[in-house]
């Protein structure tokens, strides 16, 4: 059984990088996700259904397509990539930041959907009641709406995190498979399967992958349960 | 003090209502779907009427003609909703204090005791509940917390939309005295929406009768309840006159209390109230009998002389009539046969007979709103 714990430095790096990338993908997309969910749930404007479709596209399109589009837009020569690199010094291409961006985009529909459903479920009459007590829109959002949608936000974050951990196609297309920079668990496993004698290492990482996923799911269930109790005042 | 004129279309329904009120408790009474809730929502600023003008305490809150629309949060109109609408994720204490930070400092002291959190908590009897969350409260407790929450935001006007509708009879009787104390102790003007005549006759200073989006009648509660022509709207079964009385005497031996009114003395089952206390009594039309001579050898204790003032239209076999008893109105329901048999007609002197037992707890209301705090110092004995 010793093979099970005989992680090579490269494997440990892949695990660490995977968690790191997934964490930032989740955190970075959160504010945008909440804002978009709010707009989609509450907004009434022309082109709302189009926006909804665009948000959900990464869920349906082949990940390779998403990765390639990212490469076109955020690559060194891409319009957005070039601008960010020159003006702000932010580079996505072939960096871990690019992997995080790809993961964030792929997990975004799940994040937005989960939060949006929880906003839809908020009793707006409670917000009216807060209004008659003198609260303005921002204060109502912070003290009433936000606490009530916390379970949905947590669920969305976990889904986004889980999606990021499993992301393969868009990541490898956009930022390739550079050990120590963009090589996450799935790409590492994929590489190991291609190399003769890499089977044991691939199995090790697979088990790690399963363990992380299960932990994340258990944690999310517990968190959501606690948050719902709090929200419902039980 | 409060002046409302609103025209608003909601689908097929047209709300076109106007009324004025000088304070106290103004009841909007009418069947469900008569536009009561829309009207108070317009007052609270939750809906923006297509046309209208709403003025509270001299401040224009809505005036479509000049484009004025003060948003709900700046109106300082407290709202007690039918379902309470307590914030489920906050404790009772946090709910109560939610509106405090927005309360105008000028009124914080101006309205005196209404500002004292402890006083409100004590008045509503919710001290035990402060650490709990709404999910762990009974219906009656929820409504008391909702009233406290609205009150602590220092409103200049309190709007209550069927606050008792979702409660059972026992809970209703538990809350009614608190609402009376709001009206009398805090002297805060209240607009109270209800379709329950017992609540309205007990609480209201002024009654606004609504029907199909329009105001059918406005006036002092006793005057409205004495109008036979409004019975189709105010409800025949529960029809009855309201008498303003004063506790005049207690008869401990027989467990009776004498109430004095302009119509005469009423002897009712003992009420634990000080002599001189103003009391509003509802005498249901179905509890009143009519005699042509002062009856003798009768068990009923209350015999009030008066004259027939008005006889209403027949409704099946029965008829309502209004009697003038020393200037006060009394409503009686008789069979058409009795009316004919006794030869009753306007102007005819008669005697109204009322059994003392007819006065159940629902018939009485606390101190009459017209003269709050007019209790005499005399103790009953």
Residue A233: pLDDT band by 50, 70, 90 thresholds? low
Query: Is the Cβ–Cβ distance between A192 and A205 less than 8 Å?
Result: yes
Look at residue A117 in the predicted model and tell me its pLDDT: 92
Report the alpha-carbon distance of residue B232 to residue B316 in Å, rounded.
13
**Spatial CB neighbours of B76, under 8 Å, sequence gap ≥ 6:** A134, B104, B107, B153, B154, B155, B156, B157
Subunit contact A148:B133, Cβ cutoff 8 A = no
Mean pLDDT (whole number) for B263-279? 85
Look at residue B377 in the predicted model and tell me its pLDDT: 32
Look at residue B375 in the predicted model and tell me its pLDDT: 34
CATH topology of domain B240-365: OB fold (Dihydrolipoamide Acetyltransferase, E2P) (2.40.50)
Look at residue A146 in the predicted model and tell me its pLDDT: 93
Look at residue B244 in the predicted model and tell me its pLDDT: 83
Q: Is the pLDDT of residue B378 over 60?
A: no
Mean pLDDT (whole number) for B210-220? 89
Q: Measured on CA atoms in the order A172, A174, A180, A185, is the torsion positive or negative?
A: negative
Which sequence spans correspond to the domains of chain A?
A: 2-62+97-166+183-232
- Choose, out of A125, A126, A128, A132, the residue to mutate when testing the contact with B (most B CBs < 10 Å): A132
Question: A41 to chain B nearest CA, in Å?
Answer: 20
Domain with CATH 2.40.50.100 in chain B: 240-365
How many contacts does A have with B, using Cβ atoms within 8 A? 73
CATH of domain B2-225: 3.40.50.300
Look at residue B343 in the predicted model and tell me its pLDDT: 86
Q: pLDDT > 90: what percent of chain B?
A: 28
Mean pLDDT (whole number) for B134-140? 89
Residue linked to tokens 């494997």: A11
- Looking at per-residue pLDDT, the higher value among B300 and A132 belongs to A132
- Looking at per-residue pLDDT, the higher value among B184 and B51 belongs to B51
Domain spanning A2-62+97-166+183-232, CATH architecture:
Orthogonal Bundle (1.10)
Look at residue B372 in the predicted model and tell me its pLDDT: 34
Mean pLDDT (whole number) for B120-140? 89
Q: Is A231 on the interface with B (CB under 8 A)?
A: yes
Report the alpha-carbon distance of residue B167 to residue B173 in Å, rounded.
10
Q: Is the pLDDT of residue B380 over 60?
A: no
- Compute the mean pLDDT over every residue in chain A, rounded to the nearest whole number: 89
- Minimum CA–CA partner of A136 in chain B: B73
Tokens standing for residue B41: 């929502």
Mean pLDDT (whole number) for B268-287? 85
Residue linked to tokens 């007990």: B202
Look at residue B222 in the predicted model and tell me its pLDDT: 83
Query: Is the Cβ–Cβ distance between A12 and A201 less than 8 Å?
Result: no
DSSP A134: T
Look at residue B114 in the predicted model and tell me its pLDDT: 47
- Compute the mean pLDDT over every residue in chain B, rounded to the nearest whole number: 84
CA dihedral B339, B345, B346, B349 (to 10 degrees): -80
Name the region of A158 (left: φ>0; alpha: ψ -120 to 50; beta: rest): alpha
Look at residue A135 in the predicted model and tell me its pLDDT: 93
Q: Is the pLDDT of residue A217 over 60?
A: yes
Tokens standing for residue B139: 């219906």
Look at residue B45 in the predicted model and tell me its pLDDT: 92
- Choose, out of A126, A129, A136, A143, the residue to mutate when testing the contact with B (most B CBs < 10 Å): A129
Subunit contact A134:B103, Cβ cutoff 8 A = yes
Name the phi and psi angles at B122, rounded to 5: -70, -45
Report the alpha-carbon distance of residue A96 to residue A69 in Å, rounded.
17
Which residues from B are below 8 Å from A130, CB to CB?
87, 98
Most confident of A27-41, A65-79, B217-231: A27-41
Q: Is A125 on the interface with B (CB under 8 A)?
A: yes
CB environment B53-70: b (16+ within 10 A), e (fewer): bbbbeeeebbbbeeeeeb
Look at residue A63 in the predicted model and tell me its pLDDT: 92
Look at residue B232 in the predicted model and tell me its pLDDT: 80
Look at residue B107 in the predicted model and tell me its pLDDT: 52
CB atoms within 10 A of CB B312: 19
Name beta bridge partners: A124: none
Domain with CATH 3.40.50.300 in chain B: 2-225
Subunit contact B87:A144, Cβ cutoff 8 A = yes
Q: pLDDT > 70: what percent of chain B?
A: 91
Query: Is the Cβ–Cβ distance between B261 and B248 less than 8 Å?
Result: no
Mean pLDDT (whole number) for B142-159? 92
Q: Is the pLDDT of residue A79 over 80?
A: yes
Half-sphere exposure of A44 (CA within 13 A, CB side): 0
Report the alpha-carbon distance of residue A229 to residue B264 in Å, rounded.
61
The pLDDT tens digits of the residues spanning A171-198 come to 999 988 888 888 989 999 998 898 888 8
- Minimum CA–CA partner of A124 in chain B: B85
The pLDDT tens digits of the residues spanning B97-126 come to 999 888 776 554 444 444 478 888 888 889
* DSSP labels, A28-78: HHHHHHHHHHHHHHH---TTHHHHHHHHHHHHHS-HHHHHHHHHHHHSTTS
Look at residue A115 in the predicted model and tell me its pLDDT: 94
Subunit contact B87:A126, Cβ cutoff 8 A = yes
Mean pLDDT (whole number) for B5-26? 89
Write out the H or E segment, with its range, that includes residue A173: helix A169-175
CA dihedral B318, B324, B329, B331 (to 10 degrees): -10
Report the alpha-carbon distance of residue B342 to residue B365 in Å, rounded.
34
The pLDDT tens digits of the residues spanning A128-148 come to 999 999 999 999 999 999 999
Q: How buried is residue A179: exposed, middle or buried, by Cβ count under 10 Å (0-12/13-18/19+)?
A: middle
Name the region of B204 (left: φ>0; alpha: ψ -120 to 50; beta: rest): beta
- Angle A41-A46-A52 from CA coordinates, rounded to 5°: 45
The pLDDT tens digits of the residues spanning A102-113 come to 999 999 999 999
ipTM attached to this prediction: 0.81
Name the region of B311 (left: φ>0; alpha: ψ -120 to 50; beta: rest): beta
Mean pLDDT (whole number) for B78-90? 92
Look at residue B108 in the predicted model and tell me its pLDDT: 46
Q: Is A153 on the interface with B (CB under 8 A)?
A: no
């Amino acid at each position: 059984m010793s093979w099970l714990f005989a992680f090579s430095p490269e494997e440990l790096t892949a695990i660490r990088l995977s968690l790191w990338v997934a964490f930032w993908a989740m955190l970075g997309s959160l504010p945008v996700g909440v804002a978009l969910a709010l707009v989609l749930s509450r907004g009434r404007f022309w082109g709302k259904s189009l926006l909804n479709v665009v948000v959900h596209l990464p869920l349906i399109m082949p990940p390779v397509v998403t990765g390639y589009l990212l490469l076109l837009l955020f690559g060194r020569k891409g319009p957005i990539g070039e601008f960010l690199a020159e003006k702000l010094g932010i580079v996505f291409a072939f960096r871990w930041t690019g992997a995080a961006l790809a993961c964030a985009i792929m997990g975004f529909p799940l994040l937005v959907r989960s939060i949006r459903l929880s906003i839809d479920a908020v009793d707006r009459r409670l917000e009216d009641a807060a209004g008659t007590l003198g609260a303005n829109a921002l204060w109502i959002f912070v003290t009433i709406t936000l606490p009530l949608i916390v379970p949905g936000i947590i669920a969305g974050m976990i889904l986004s995190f889980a999606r990021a951990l499993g992301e393969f196609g868009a990541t490898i297309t956009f930022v390739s498979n550079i050990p120590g920079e963009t090589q996450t668990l799935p790409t590492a496993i994929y590489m190991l399967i291609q190399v003769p004698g890499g089977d044991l290492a691939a199995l090790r990482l697979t088990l790690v992958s399963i363990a992380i996923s299960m932990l994340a799911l258990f944690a999310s269930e517990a968190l959501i349960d606690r948050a719902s109790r709090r929200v419902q005042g039980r | 003090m409060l002046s409302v004129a609103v025209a608003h279309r909601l689908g097929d329904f047209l709300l076109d209502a106007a009324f004025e009120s000088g304070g106290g408790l103004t009841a909007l009474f009418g069947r469900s779907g008569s536009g009561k809730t829309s009207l108070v929502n317009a007052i609270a600023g939750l809906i923006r009427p297509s046309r209208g003008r709403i003025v509270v305490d001299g401040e224009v809150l809505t005036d479509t003609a000049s484009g004025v629309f003060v948003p709900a949060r700046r109106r300082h109109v407290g709202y007690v909703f039918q379902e309470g609408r307590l914030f489920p994720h906050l404790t009772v204490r946090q709910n109560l204090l939610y509106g405090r930070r927005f309360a105008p400092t000028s009124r914080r002291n101006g309205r005196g005791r209404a500002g004292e959190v402890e006083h409100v908590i004590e008045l509503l009897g919710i001290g035990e509940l402060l650490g709990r969350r709404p999910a762990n409260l009974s219906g009656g407790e929820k409504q008391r917390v909702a009233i406290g929450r609205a009150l602590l935001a220092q409103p200049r006007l309190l709007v209550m939309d069927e606050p008792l509708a979702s409660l059972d009879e026992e809970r209703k009787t538990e809350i009614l005295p608190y609402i009376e104390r709001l009206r009398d102790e805090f002297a805060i003007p209240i607009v109270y929406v209800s379709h329950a005549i017992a609540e309205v006759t007990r609480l209201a200073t002024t009654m606004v009768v609504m029907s199909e989006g329009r105001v059918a009648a406005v006036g002092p509660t006793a005057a409205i309840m004495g109008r036979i022509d409004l019975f189709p709207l105010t409800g025949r079964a529960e029809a009855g006159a309201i008498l303003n009385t004063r506790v005049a005497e207690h008869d401990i031996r027989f467990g009776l209390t004498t109430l004095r009114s302009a119509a005469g003395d009423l002897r009712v089952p003992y009420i634990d109230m000080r002599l001189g206390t103003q009391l509003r009594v509802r005498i249901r039309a179905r509890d009143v009998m009519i005699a042509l001579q002062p009856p003798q050898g009768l068990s009923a204790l209350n015999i009030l002389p008066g004259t027939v003032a008005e006889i209403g239209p027949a409704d099946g076999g029965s008829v309502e009539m209004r009697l003038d008893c020393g200037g006060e109105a009394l409503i009686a329901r008789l069979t058409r046969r009795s009316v004919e048999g006794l030869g009753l007609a306007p102007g005819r002197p008669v005697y109204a007979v009322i059994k003392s037992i007819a006065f159940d707890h629902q018939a009485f209301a606390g101190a009459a709103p017209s003269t709050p705090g007019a209790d005499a110092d005399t103790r009953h004995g």
